[in-house]
Structure 1
Amino acid sequence: MADHKHGNMDTTVQEETFDGFVSFVTKSVIAIICVLLFMALVGG
């Protein structure tokens, strides 16, 4: 079995995935708020 060394794992892929997820959620929330504001202003 390989010896485990704390802190040696390469996490760049996980960090890029998390950054993409945060970006997607942020853009989605902004889009939803814009749609809700538009509906409130138009009366829909």
Structure 2
Amino acid sequence: MSDHKHGEMDISVQEKTFNGFISMVTKGAILSICILIFAALVNG
């Protein structure tokens, strides 16, 4: 079988991708909320 040990794999690329994804989702959510607030203020 294999002699793989848990926790030894380099996951820096996956962490960078995940952090980028979370950052984009957060920015998209904030932008959407700002657009909705602006639309509500304009329409009165």
TM-score interval (norm. to shorter): 0.7 to 0.9
CA RMSD of aligned residues (A): 1.4
User: Share of identical aligned residues, percent?
Assistant: 64
TM-score of the superposed pair, with normalisation by structure 2: 0.88
CA distance in 2, matches of 1:6, 1:30: 37
Unpaired runs of at least 5, structure 2: none
Aligned partners of 2:34 and 2:7: how far apart in 1?
42
| Amino acid of the structure 1 residue aligned with 2:30 | I
TM-score by length of 1: 0.88
Aligned length: 44
Alignment correspondent of 1:19: 19
**5+ unaligned residues in a row in structure 1: which ranges?**
none
* Structure 1 residue ranges, 4+ long, deviating more than 6 angstroms after superposition: none
